[in-house]
Structure 1
Amino acid sequence: MKKFLIADSHSIVRTGITYLLKEEFLNIEIDACSNGNTVWEKIKTNSYDLAILDINMPGTDSINLLQNIFAFCPDLKILILTTSREEIYARIYLQLGVKGFINKDADDAEIRKAIITTLNNKKYLSPGMHVIQRLEATKRGPLSLFNRLSPRELEVMTHLLEGKNVSQIANLLCAHTSTIGTHKAKILQKLGVTNIIELKEFTQLFNHTGLGTTKLVS
C-alpha cells in the first residue's frame, strides 16, 4: 500500500489531489494538512512514498521546512504543487532536493504525470521548463535574472511581493531584521530595481511576457 502526504492551505486543492490519487492508485493511504508545522509533525511520525506540498502555505518557512525534512528523511520524494511561477522558483527548489515542481494551472493529465514520475524516483520538469533548459544549454547561461537569487532571497522576495515588511518577514522566518534587510537590498540589486514598486512591476512583466531575462551574447 502506498502512502501519500498532501499539504496545501486550500481544502479544494487537497480534495482535488486526493481524487486524482484515488483514481490513479488502488489501496492507498492519504494524510492531508494545511500548514508547515503539521507537515513536519507528520513526516517525523510517518513514512510516506510521496509528499505533495505547496510552498506558499501561511506561516510556513518553506526553505527551512524542506531543509529540515531532507536532514531528517533524505530519501523522501517530494513534489511541489504551487501557483508560483516555475520559471522563477523551480530551479531553486529542485536544487534543494525536491523531485518535481509543477504549477496548479497544469491540467489533470500533467499533474498525474508529475506524480507518477516523482513516485518512481525520477525528476519531473514541465514541458515549459524543458524548453528553458534547452535554450539555456544553447546559450550556455541562465535565461532569467531570478536565477541570480539564492533560495532564501527568493523566499524573502515572495513575502515582499505579498506586502509584508521587513519586521514581519523577520518574525515569520525567525531571523534578525538586519538579516532580512540585507536580503532585501541584495534582491533589489541583483534584479536591477530600486524599490518594492519596481520589483512588483518587474515580476508582473516577467509573468506576462517572459521578460526578466539576462542579456546573452551568442
Structure 2
Amino acid sequence: MKKILLVDDHSIVRSGLRNLIDLENDMRVEDEAASGNEAIQKVRKQKFDIVVLDISMPNKNGVDTLHDLKRVAPDLPVLILSGYAEQQYALNLIRSGCKGYLSKDADPDEIIKAIRTICAGRLYISSALAELMASELMQPSDKLLHETLSDREFQVFFKLATGKSVTEIGEELFISVKTVSTYRARILEKMNMKTNADLTYYAIKNELIN
C-alpha cells in the first residue's frame, strides 16, 4: 500500500484527489498539507512513498517546496500536479528533481497511472512532456528563455518575477544578498533583459504567474 502526501492549498482539490485515490486498492492518502511549509514538517515526521505537489501556493510555492523536499528527503519522489500546462514549468521542474508533471485537467486515470509509475521507481513522462522533451532535443534553439536557466537560476527568477526583493530572496533561500545579486545579473544576461519589471512582464506574458 503506497502512502501519499497531498500538498495543495485548496481543500476542494485535496478532497477530489483523495476521493479518486480511495477507489484504488494499492494506494492511500496518508496525509494532506495546505502549504509548502506544512508539507516539509510532515515529511520530517512521517514516511511517505510519494508527494503530489501543487505549484501555486501562498508563502512557499511549489518550486521552493520541491527544492526543500529534495534536501530533506532526497529519495522521496514528487509528482507535480499543477494548474499550469506542461510547457510552462515541466522541463524546469524535471531538471529540479520531480519525477513527473501533470496539469490538473489530466484524466483521472492518468493521474493514478503517474502515481503508480513513480512509486515503481520510474519517471512518468506524459505525452505533452514527451513532446516538449523531443522538441528540445530536435530544436534546442527553440527553447523558451526561462528554459535556458539552471535549476537555481529558475528559482531566483521566479521570485524576482513575483516582486520579491534581493534581500527577501536571500533570506528565503539562505544565501547572501551578494549571491542573489549575482544570480539576478546572470538571469538578466541570459534572458537579454534589463530590469525586474522585464522579468515580471515576461512571466505574465508566458503565464508563469497570474
Fold in common (TM above 0.5): yes
Bin of the TM-score, shorter chain as denominator length: 0.7 to 0.9
TM-score by length of 2: 0.82
2:4, 2:51 within 8 Å by CA — same for their partners in 1? yes
Match of 1:195 in 2: 195
- Counterpart of 2:69 in structure 1 is 66
- 5+ residue gaps, structure 2, are none
* 1:43-88 alpha-carbon deviations (Å, 9 max, x no partner): 23322222112244333332541331344xx2x2221122345334
Identical-pair percentage: 33
* Aligned residue runs from structure 1 range 13-28, under 5 A: 13-25=13-25, 28=28
Query: Residue 37 of structure 2 aligns with which residue?
Result: 37
- Tell me how far apart the structure 2 counterparts of residues 111 and 25 of structure 1 sit (CA, whole Å): 15
* Moved >4 Å (runs of 4+): none
Change (3 A) 1:140 1:171: closer
Cα distance in 1, alignment partners of residues 88 and 149 from structure 2: 10
CA distance in structure 2 between the aligned counterparts of 1:37 and 1:205, rounded to whole angstroms: 29
Q: Is the 8 A contact 2:161 2:196 kept in 1?
A: yes
The alpha carbon displacement at 1:101 in A equals 1.4
Q: For 2:5, what is the secondary structure of its paired residue?
A: strand
Aligned pairs for 1:1-218 within 5 A: 1-25=1-25, 28-60=28-60, 61-71=64-74, 74=75, 76-139=76-139, 143-207=143-207
Unaligned 5+ runs, structure 1: 209-218
Aligned residue type for 2:65: S
Residue 151 of structure 1 deviates from its aligned partner by 1.5
Shift of 1:12: 1.9
AA aligned opposite 2:12: I
Contact 1:63 1:151 in 2 (8 A): no
Instruction: Give 2:179's aligned amino acid.
Output: T
Please give the TM-score of this superposition, normalised by the length of structure 1: 0.79
Paired residues in the alignment total 205
Q: Judge conservation of contact 1:18–1:30 (CA < 8 Å) in 2.
A: no
Return closer, same or farther for 1:166/1:49 CA change in 2, 3 Å cut-off.
same
Across the aligned residues of Structure 1 and Structure 2, the Cα RMSD in angstroms comes to 2.6
Matched residue type, 2:121: N
Secondary structure of the residue aligned to 1:24 is coil
